[in-house]
Structure 1
């Protein structure tokens, strides 16, 4: 079962299912995030939509690279959540099914290749306060709480 995060769906609105893969990316006591700069800055777990014919892991590797410029290794699934949002870039009301992984950033190859994205490193505590959605915050704080002795 996937937990819903954020506001419930509006009863009279039609939503399109959009699946995505996102990652908590810890390294050296910090976490790699992306900041989408369009309109107003929005700090997010790196990741995004799964394209037709693509597996969640293929999408995860592609999206993390596009949004951060980093390659990742050893992804492991943490869980999933749903949220109901308007996606202005697609002019679409979406039921987003977000598959969340933890993976390790191994090498920065370039700057982000996706327009309006910046890679940022934050402490887990700062990230937990600045992430733009409840689901991202939930999985990040749960991961770091479980990995702290």
Structure 2
């Protein structure tokens, strides 16, 4: 059973499954987040959807780089959650199945290449309050209960 966070499923609404991968990029007591300006300004764990035919780990490396400008090293899987939401960039309703990994930032290659994203270092305690969706916050809390 995969835990659901966020808004309830809307009766009669058709959702398309959208698998995605996200990273908790730790450095000491801070994590690297991405601030996304639109459609709603919010802090998020960097990551995103897995393209058809793309390996999930390759997708995670690509998404983290696009949204933060950092290369990373993967440590371990933290967990998975789902949320049902409207994705205005794609004009579709999605069942997002989000797998979250613990990782380490290795090398900053430059600013984010994805428009509307800014890389922001944030203290983990602050992030527990500031991350924009409940699933991201729950995965961070779960990661904090494990050895860093």
Specify the alignment match of 1:98 in structure 2: 98
- The 2-side partners of 1:109 and 1:129 are apart by 28
- The 2-side partners of 1:94 and 1:39 are apart by 15
Q: 1:126, CA displacement in angstroms? A: 0.5
- Provide the secondary structure at the position in 2 that maps to 1:60: helix
- The 2-side partners of 1:130 and 1:68 are apart by 17
Q: Give the structure-2-normalised TM-score.
A: 0.95
- Provide the secondary structure at the position in 2 that maps to 1:54: coil
Stretches (4+) displaced over 2 A? 145-148
Structure 1: gaps spanning 5 or more residues: none
- Provide the secondary structure at the position in 2 that maps to 1:4: coil
Correspondences of 1:1-149 after superposition (within 5 Å): 1-147=1-147
- Provide the secondary structure at the position in 2 that maps to 1:94: strand
- The 2-side partners of 1:99 and 1:39 are apart by 22
Q: Give the structure-1-normalised TM-score.
A: 0.95
- CA distance 1:102–1:116, change in 2 (3 Å): same
- CA distance 1:104–1:134, change in 2 (3 Å): same
